[in-house]
Amino acid sequence: MASMNAYRRDIDGMRAVAVLSVLAYHYGLSAPGGFVGVDVFFVISGYLIGSLLYRQATGGTFTYLAFYTRRARRILPALLAVLALTYAAMLLVATPSDLRDYGKTALATLLSLSNVQLWRAFNYFHPTAELNPLLMTWSLGVEEQFYLVAPVVMLLLPRLALRGRLIVLCSLIAVSLALAVWAVRLDPGAAFYLLPTRAWELAAGVLVGVLEIHGIGRCIRGWAGEALALAGLVLILVPVMAYDRQTPFPGWTALPPVLGCALLLSTPASALNRRLLALPPMRAVGLVSYSLYLWHWPLISIARLMVGQEQPSLPVRLALLALSGVLAAASYRFVETPFRHARTPARVSLPRYAAALAVSMLLVGSAVVAQGFPQRWPRQFVAEARQFNYHRNPCLVLHHGAEPDTSARCYPVGPRLIALVGDSHAAAFAAGMRAVAAREGMGLVVLAKASCQFLVGVAPRETMHPELLHDCATFNRRVMVLLLNDPRVRGVIIAGAWRAGSMQPIHYVAMDGSSGTPDELFAQGLARAVRTLEGAGKQVMIARDVPFLRIEPRSRMASCASRWRNLWPGTAGAGDCGRIGSADTVSDAPVLALLARVARQTGASLVDPRASFCDRSGCLIAMDGHTYYRDRQHLSPLGSSRAATAFAPLLRSLASHSRPPGDASGLTASRR
């Protein structure tokens, strides 16, 4: 077997490339695909730790006690320091629900399960991953789970000939990669967070290490080595600049950065490795890369939590980035290094680490048990903050579903009905619309599916949810059949997140294969829906969407209720709690023009609930401490009541024209 150097300076340079890519991505510094830096970390980790495991397994020196003590010394001290200080900060500024969620993720992190917890936690109605200060720990969960399995595999490999060992490793890589390619289409969240679809990246590093140990590939020198090293760096940097959040990932798209890192690891003698990656500044960043990775995210995440914006201002981000570097250097010097070089025997230090984990779990677990310690906040805010917690709308069909809910709660009895159809924005109108319809003696039918605007012959193709194309078309087709076959439905309100028509990275597909721009297909599908309903004698109303906020309303409300959050620059003062400026909302002018054109062409009524919230100077998001929004785009029940007033005149007119002679009460007890 060939020998391996104990320390390669160029590997710290690779770590620097990886961590700087991640930081640039998270801090909004022109690296839209910087998330691939984590994949580079995975390959490096597999190479270093896998090589160590393989050497010990083949040499008969491996022990689980020594291995996991080494892992604990490397991972836990800096992680526990970050958890402790982050927890203290969250106690000061986090709302009860945010602190409770923090506690759940912290517990999962200490159990090396944060990737699983985060995968399960963030769904359609809880998409604010950026506000979780421990989001970065998902990669630690993947690594630690991998290193529960890797020793078993490594201990089995020496029983095989070299060819058999390589076949096993290549087979594991191929299976995991194939699973990632398949899963990224079926469940992108699971593909991103879970070990089975990420294991191939770490295993690729293991394979490079095993090949090097056996001297395979050591002949790659000279111009071939230089070319491969350059290709490796390009394969990393191009995705950093070319990928973005809409890139399906991982899967085939993760192959370039993984292969690029593997090539760099395989060419230590190249000039690029020796002269560029081994430069002192690159090495310095690489040495503190673990602490830098840990510290950078809580700082920017808590800042977002405080100001309620996706990105704080550039000066704030640069200041936080500098602070990340300072904390990382201090952590490396005073936490990482002393513990890594401690001489305490493994049989003593591992129980100590276990005790530290247990104490930490008790501390962060208290935030979960105590429901985020609501006593820290004014009672009125605590009561109102419940609006921001996800409450399942029973009439909203979520992803992976295509069957409308026709139970009595969503499709009531009665001789005169008004239907509300569309996506989750339509469903958010339901509470207020139901009350307005009842005053006019009508029942409200609610048939809605998340992310599915009510279009005919056209459906969305969204990268993160590829199943929508089929599910939306099927759902809308079934809804249309229900409406056309029910004469009691006198009118239909079509509502939705119309900003997606021209401002979101969602592509529309004509189910008959015809082509057109996204705007053309969107308008075409909406016009067909309106004309089909009008052809059956239904009166159709198209609802303009309510304001989509650039700020988190819960952060704005919390800033008004917390003296600690008011200390942060850019947060709202007490007089700004219920109102935001026009710059804090997303303009819907382009799609509004499309809606108006469809309304003119079809004769549908265009209703503007946005006018109930906004004037030229800004928009209302709360009144007297009571919020109109659950999140940046979905109305609360109180908000839906305000929006519904815009529909009252049309519903009154529809009810008066459709009321049978002598019937003043409206609903009857008859069933469909």
DSSP strand pairing (489-495 vs 539-543): parallel
State residue 295's pLDDT score: 98
Assign domain 396-548+587-611+637-657 to a CATH class.
alpha beta
Average pLDDT rounded to a whole number, residues 587-597: 91
Strand, coil or helix: 326: helix
DSSP secondary structure string, 566-634?
A: HTSTT---GGGTTEEEGGGEE--HHHHHHHHHHHHHH--EEE-GGGGTEETTEEE-EETTEESBSSSS-
Average pLDDT rounded to a whole number, residues 640-658: 86
Average pLDDT rounded to a whole number, residues 61-88: 95
Kindly tell me if the per-residue pLDDT of 662 is higher than 70: no
Beta strands in 377-536, from DSSP E residues, in sequence order: 396-397, 417-422, 443-449, 458-461, 489-495, 507-510
Lowest mean pLDDT among 347-351, 464-468, 570-574: 570-574
Which residues, 6+ apart, have CB-to-CB distance to 230 below 8 Å? 270, 272
| Residue 515's pLDDT band (cuts 50, 70, 90) | confident
Kindly tell me if the per-residue pLDDT of 667 is higher than 50: no
pLDDT per residue as tens digits for the range 263-281: 999 999 999 999 999 999 9
State residue 571's pLDDT score: 60
Element (H, E) at 255: helix 255-265
Kindly tell me if the per-residue pLDDT of 455 is higher than 90: yes
**Residue 250, preceding peptide bond in cis (omega within 30° of 0):** yes
Tokens of 280: 């002192």
CA dihedral 524, 528, 534, 535 (to 10 degrees): 140
Residue environment code for 588-625, b if the CB has 16+ CB neighbours within 10 A, otherwise e = beebbebbeebbeebebbebebbebbbeeebbbbbeee
Q: Are 372 and 94 within 8 A, CB to CB? A: yes
How far is it, in rounded angstroms, from Cα 244 to Cα 11? 26
Kindly tell me if the per-residue pLDDT of 402 is higher than 60: yes
State residue 501's pLDDT score: 56
Average pLDDT rounded to a whole number, residues 402-407: 90
Kindly tell me if the per-residue pLDDT of 410 is higher than 90: yes
Kindly tell me if the per-residue pLDDT of 97 is higher than 70: yes
- Average pLDDT score over the chain: 89
What pairs with residue 543 in β-bridges? Answer: 607
DSSP secondary structure string, 52-112?
A: HHHHHHHHT---HHHHHHHHHHHHHHHHHHHHHHHHHHHHHH--HHHHHHHHHHHHHHHTT
Lowest mean pLDDT among 91-100, 105-114, 458-467, 509-518: 458-467
Q: Is the pTM of this model over 0.85?
A: yes
Average pLDDT rounded to a whole number, residues 287-313: 90
Average pLDDT rounded to a whole number, residues 184-203: 93
State residue 41's pLDDT score: 98
Positions of CATH 3.40.50.1110 in the chain = 396-548+587-611+637-657
State residue 506's pLDDT score: 67
How far is it, in rounded angstroms, from Cα 506 to Cα 167? 42
Query: For 547, which DSSP code?
Result: P
Lowest mean pLDDT among 4-18, 290-304, 485-499: 4-18
Query: For 272, which DSSP code?
Result: I
pLDDT per residue as tens digits for the range 115-137: 999 998 875 445 567 788 999 99
Q: Are 189 and 32 within 8 A, CB to CB? A: no
State residue 664's pLDDT score: 33
How far is it, in rounded angstroms, from Cα 329 to Cα 318? 17
Kindly tell me if the per-residue pLDDT of 672 is higher than 50: no
Kindly tell me if the per-residue pLDDT of 317 is higher than 90: yes
| Residue 164's pLDDT band (cuts 50, 70, 90) | very high
Which residues, 6+ apart, have CB-to-CB distance to 280 below 8 Å? none
